[in-house]
Amino acid sequence: MTSSVGYQPKNRIGLVKDQPSQQAVKLSAGDEKALCRHVWRISSSNAARGNIFRIVLNQIRDAHEAAAGNLIACKWDRYLRPFHVSQSEPSEVQIAIEFITEHLRHNQSSNDATRLLRPLVELWSWENADGAACETALAGALRLYSMGQADSALDLLYDRLDDMMRRGDLVSIDRLLLQFGPEDLPVDLILALLTATLPVRDKLESRYAFLRNAERVLNERGEYEDGILAGL
Amino acid sequence: MDLLSGLVRTVLNHLHSIVNQLFRSEDGIFLQSERPVSEVRAAAIAIANIAANQRHIGILHRGSSPNSPVKFLHLAFHFDLRNEDQISAKYVWVGPKVPEARLRQVAAKCRQIHRANGPNLPYAFSPPIDCIDAQTGQYLLGPTNHGLTCASFVLAVFERAGLRLVDYGSWQINRPGDMEWQTSILEVLRNGSSQQHIAALQAEIGAVRFRPEEVAGAAAVSPLPASFEAALEKAQLVMTALSKAN
C-alpha cells in the first residue's frame, strides 16, 4: 500500500499560516474599509509603484502609529528575518504585506487576504530585482500557494523566473535550485521551476540534480505518475 | 421484410455509434453533449469545423480551483489571438493523456502567452519550435519566424510547456492540398497585411503543414510525441466526432 503524505508546508522560507500572532492589531470596521480601499489603489495600473506603498504605509501609520510601529519592529526579528534571505532591511512593500497579512489573519478574513495580497506579492517580487529576487519570488509563490491561490503562485513564479532569464541572471536561478530542494515545494511549483527553466536547462548546473531529486521526492510522497517529468 | 431490414439497420447504426463513442472516450475525444468542457482537466485541445474542409483549433484551459472558468485560447487569424470565455457547442475536445499537474503548467503558459502577446500574434506558416520567447512568452519574430497557424500555435504552446505533441521529423511535407491551402490563406491576408509579411508568407508556401485534426489527434496519442501515422489514425476519430457535433 502506498502512503501519500503529499506536500507539507514548512516555515523555512516564510510560510506563515500556522504561526500564532501575539501582536496583531485590531482595526475598526471603518479602518478596515479604508485599508482595503488603499490596497485596491495599489493594483491600479496607473499607480506609481514606488509612491503608492508610501501612501498606504503612511496612512496606516497615521491611523495606527504606535501599534503599527510595534508590530513592524516585533515582526522583523521574529518573523521577517527568516523570510528575507538577504538579511537586509525589509522593504516597504514587504512590511505592507506582513502588516496586512497579520491584520487579516487576526480578523479571520482569509478570502480578503488572498484578494489583497496578490498585487502586493507581485509588486514585491518586482521590487526585489536583485540576487535575492528568485528566493523572494519563490517565497511569494509558496505563500500564495498556501493560501489556495495555486494559479497566482504559478503565474508569479513564471513571470519572475522569466524576468531573471531575460536579464541573464542564471546564477541566481541556479543558486535557487541548489538551495531549495523539491522536498520544500508542492508538485505544481516543482514542475513550474522545471518548465520555466527548460529553455536554459543546459546552462544550469544544479538543474539536473533538482530533476533527479524531484523524481525521488514525488515517489516518496506518492505523487509520481508516469510522464509527470517527461520532457523536462 | 423492408421493415425488418430497416430495424436491423437502425440497431446496427446505434451499436456502431455506441462502439464509436466508447473508442473515442477511451482516446479522450469528446463531444460537448457527452462531456461538457467544464470537465476539462486544466488544459485540453478544442477543434471544430468552421467551413467546408476547414477546421479551427485552440486550447481550453482553466485555473486550479473547481469553480475556475474554462477559457479558450486560440489564434483566430492574423493578429487575432483570443482568450474567450465561451466556446461554441460545435467544438469537440481532446484531453491529452498526461498527468494533470503537467496540464496545469500548460494552463499557466496559456495565461502567460496571452498576457505577453494580447491579440498581437501574426498568422503565417513558420515552424512552431523556438518561436515563443522563453523569457517573455512573446512570439519571436525573426528570419524564420513570421507567424503561426491555429494548429501550429497549439503545438508551440505545448512545446513551451515541455510537452511535445508531435514528432516533427516524422511529418510529411508537400501533401496534396497543402500548397493550395497556404496560397488561399495568402490571398486572404493580402488585404490588410504589410508587404513585408506577404513576402515572408510567399517564401513559406510549401512549408510543412500541421492540420488541425492531426494536432487534435496527436493530443489523443500516448505516449507523446505522436508520430505522423499515429496522429493520422486518431485524426480519423476526431473527424468522426466532428461530423456528429455539427
pLDDT in tens, B152-166: 999 999 999 999 999
Q: Which residues of chain A neighbour B162 with C-beta distances below 8 Å?
A: 194-195, 198, 230-232
Residue A152: predicted pLDDT: 86
| CB contact (8 A) between residue A227 and residue B98 | yes
List per-residue pLDDT tens for chain A, 232 residues long.
333 445 554 433 322 222 333 333 344 455 545 555 555 444 343 333 334 444 444 444 444 444 444 444 434 343 333 333 344 455 555 666 666 666 555 554 445 545 555 555 555 544 444 445 556 678 778 878 887 888 988 988 888 888 788 778 888 888 888 888 899 899 999 999 999 999 888 889 999 999 999 999 999 999 999 999 999 9
pLDDT computed for residue B137 by the predictor: 53
Query: Which residue in this structure is represented by grid cell 503543414?
Result: B209
> Alpha helix locations (H) across B38-149?
100-117
pLDDT of residue A166: 78
Q: Contact A227/B99, CB-based, under 8 Å?
A: yes
Residue B87 backbone zone (phi > 0: left; psi -120 to 50: alpha; other: beta):
beta
pLDDT above 80: residue B237: yes
Percent of chain B with pLDDT strictly greater than 90:
68
For residue range B90-128, list pLDDT tens digits in order. Answer: 999 999 999 999 999 999 999 988 988 889 899 999 888
Residue A19 lies in a domain: no
In this model, does residue B4 exceed pLDDT 60? Answer: yes
Q: What are residue B145's DSSP bridge partners? A: B142
Gap between the Cα atoms of B103 and B122, Å rounded: 25
Task: Report which secondary-structure segment, H or E, holds B73.
Answer: strand B70-77
C-alpha distance from A74 to closest chain B C-alpha (Å): 35
Residue contact A159–B112, C-beta within 8 A: yes
Q: In the prediction, which pLDDT does B85 show?
A: 94
**Helix (H/G/I), strand (E/B), else coil: B3:** helix
- Write out chain A in H/E/C secondary structure: CCCCCCCCCCCCCCCCCCCCCCCCCCCCHHHHHHHHHHHHHHCCCCCCHHHHHHHHHHHHHHHCHHHHHHHHHHHHHHHHHHHCCCCCCCCHHHHHHHHHHHHHHHCCCHHHHHHHHHHHHHHHHHHCCCCCHHHHHHHHHHHHHHCCCHHHHHHHHHHHHHHHHHCCCHHHHHHHHHHCCHHHCCHHHHHHHHHHCHHHHHHCCCHHHHHHHHHHHHHHHCCCCCCCCCCC
A121 assigned to some structural domain: yes
Q: Is residue A14 part of a domain?
A: no
Domain holding A177, by residue range, is 29-221
Closest chain A residue to B42, measured at CA: A151
If you search the block for the grid coordinates 517564401, which residue do you land on? Answer: B203
Contact B69/A at CB under 8 A: no
Mean pLDDT to the nearest integer, B77-88: 94
CA B156 to chain CA centroid, Å, is 11
Who has greater pLDDT, B195 or B18? B195
Nearest CA in chain A to B164: A231
B98 touches chain A (CB under 8 A): yes
Of the partner residues A162, A192, A225, the one whose CB lies closest to the CB of residue B137: A162
Q: Do A166 and B136 touch (CB under 8 A)?
A: yes
Cβ–Cβ gap B64/A150 under 8 Å = yes
**Which DSSP letter does residue B169 get?**
G
Is A17 within 8 Å of A9 (Cβ atoms)? Answer: yes
Q: Tell if the pTM clears 0.95, that is, is over it.
A: no
Determine the pLDDT at residue B127: 86
Q: What is the pLDDT of residue B1?
A: 62
B125 CB-near residues (< 8 Å, 6+ apart)? B146, B147, B149, B152, B182, B185, B201, B204, B205, B207, B209
Angle at CA B217, nearest 5°, toward B214 and B219? 115
Cβ–Cβ gap A199/B224 under 8 Å: no
Q: Which amino acid makes up residue B63?
A: G
Number of compact structural domains in chain A: 1
- Nearest neighbour of B108 by CB, restricted to A155, A225, A230: A155
The arithmetic mean of pLDDT across residues B168-179, rounded, is: 93
CA distances from A97 to A122, A127, A232 (A): 11, 13, 34
Count the Cβ atoms, other than its own, within 10 Å of residue B8.
10
Q: Does B102 touch chain A (CB under 8 A)?
A: yes
How many other CB atoms are there within 10 angstroms of residue B222's CB atom? 14
Interface test with B, best of A152, A162, A223 (most B CBs within 10 A): A162
The label of the residue with cell 521577517 reads: A80
Task: Enumerate residues 107 to 126 of chain B having a beta carbon within 8 A of any beta carbon in chain A.
Answer: 107-109, 111-112
Amino acid present at B46: A
Say if CB B206 and CB B124 are below 8 A apart: no
| Helix or strand run (H / E) with residue B85 | none
> Which residues neighbour B7 within 8 Å (Cβ) at sequence distance 6 or greater?
none
Of A219, A221, A215, A170, residue with least CA distance to A197: A170
Contact A232/B162, CB-based, under 8 Å?
Answer: yes
Average pLDDT over chain B reads: 89
Q: What whole-number distance in Å separates Cα of residue B204 and Cα of residue B183?
A: 10
How many residues in chain A?
232
Q: For residue B141, what pLDDT band results from cuts at 50, 70 and 90?
A: low
Q: Is A194 on the interface with B (CB under 8 A)?
A: yes
Does any CB of chain B come closer than 8 Å to the CB of residue A189?
no
Note if the bond before B66 is cis, omega within 30 degrees. no
pLDDT at A74: 39
Which residues of chain A does B102 touch, with a Cβ-Cβ cutoff of 8 Å? 191, 227-228, 230
Domain coordinates in residue numbering, chain B: 2-245
**Any CB–CB contact under 8 A between A162 and chain B?**
yes
Whether A81 is covered by a domain: the verdict is: yes
What count of CB pairs under 8 Å joins A to B? 75
Rounded Cα distance, B138 and A169, in Å: 19
